[in-house]
Amino acid sequence: MDRKNRMAQNETRFHDKQSGVKAGRYPARIGQTRMGQAAATLALFAFSPILACAVSCQTQAAMSGPERDVLITEVAPLADAVAKQNLDLLQASLLPAVVGDWEGIRSAAQAAKPLLQGGTIQLRSGYLLDATDLKTAGDTQFFCTNADNSVTVTVNLRGLPPGRYALVIADYAGAPMAGQLALILGQDATQGGKWKLGGLFAREGALDGHDGLWYWVRARALAKKDTSWSAWFTYDAARALLLPVDFVSTPNMEKLNQEQLQLKSPSDALPITLAGVGTYTGISWKLTGARLDLGLHEPDLALTYEGTGLTDPVAAKSEAVGVMAALLRLQPTLRENFHGFWAYAMKDGKQTFAIEVAMKDVPN
């Protein structure tokens, strides 16, 4: 998404409207950012009672040979269609239940294009999710355990109708952004159980050549230095680069989450008052939001603040940069650890201005 279009959006872009087979967001307070995810079916929700007793999950290793072969055969052309932007094929492959959500799915597929370009698909993991015994649609949790019961992956899907589903996660090796792609498939009872597309999700797997593991190690180092804001958002970046979805919980993600929760969340400190200097001496702003934003495929931070209602673009930009500089005086390590800021000025509940500025262009 280019800068012009992003500036036209209001703050609700952090909670984009999604549709289709709904995926329950991992239930932790750390999952509050959009993080640049292209997700056609993601719906955020407060963790609610989950149905688990009437469902089952098979990991890729536990599938029979024919089951794996069929799944790979069905996934390959869909993944290829996303990478090559064959939107007609994707639309023709939709589950009947999500046909009405095509616009959202198309948007997600188009957003995935730059993430996958130049890469070769490599399947990372697959899960068969059997919900045929559900009596009605409901928020559903699948426990996917390996053969020796040493590892359990949890999948949370919201408002899931009875049926048989599959989740496949793939990486695009060699792509500059090391794209990650996740597809949800469902069997279409009207076509003899043929697998159809229920949703797709894509994220970067690397930023500027650094993958999720690099960011995780970096977050740990920052945490030891007590740079809590930088460490917190670096953990957020690690999480986004390690999994393309928020509705899957793995042992590694649990460990990352536990480490992050040892820190003070920036959201717990908000709102805070930022004091201006220089031209803005005597002026202060209330910072009400701070989030990681990977929307431009860079590790940016998105700030929401109560502006003064300036309508002149030059003056509004100057004020936004003043807010950024004021935050950097409080949190100086953000400058060296992130690419830039998105700033969103709010006045009387409405967004009045938005701009992205690289850290190098924010004065000391």
First to last CA, the chain: 29
pLDDT of 18 > 50? The answer is no
pLDDT of 89 > 60? The answer is yes
Q: What is the pLDDT of residues 276-321, one digit of tens each?
A: 988 889 999 999 999 999 999 999 999 999 999 999 999 999 999 9
pLDDT of 129 > 70? The answer is yes
Cα separation, 108 vs 200, in Å, equals 7
**Whole-number average pLDDT of the chain:** 87
Q: What is the pLDDT of residues 63-88, one digit of tens each?
A: 999 999 999 999 999 999 999 999 99
Residue 53's pLDDT is what? Answer: 60
Mean pLDDT value across residues 102-123: 97
Question: Which has the closest alpha carbon to 152: 56, 250, 239, 257?
Answer: 250
pLDDT of 5 > 60? The answer is no
pLDDT of 30 > 80? The answer is no
Lowest-pLDDT range of 64-68, 179-183, 194-198: 64-68
Q: What is the pLDDT of residues 207-263, one digit of tens each?
A: 999 999 999 999 999 999 977 899 999 999 999 999 999 999 999 999 999 999 999
Its pTM stands at 0.86
Token pair for residue 219? 């977050």
Domain ranges of the chain: 11-207, 211-240+249-260, 270-361
Residue 278's pLDDT is what? Answer: 86
Residue 358's pLDDT is what? Answer: 98
pLDDT of 20 > 90? The answer is no
Q: What's phi and psi for 54, nearest 5 deg?
A: -100, 15
Question: Which has the closest alpha carbon to 168: 134, 129, 133, 137?
Answer: 129
Q: Are 169 and 125 in contact (CB under 8 A)?
A: yes
Cα separation, 110 vs 175, in Å, equals 16
Mean pLDDT value across residues 322-329: 97
Q: Is 224 or 15 the better-scoring residue by pLDDT?
A: 224
Token pair for residue 260? 């992050």
Mean pLDDT value across residues 153-167: 96
Residue 7's pLDDT is what? Answer: 44
pLDDT of 31 > 70? The answer is no
Beta bridge partners of 140: 51, 157
Question: Which has the closest alpha carbon to 33: 291, 243, 258?
Answer: 291
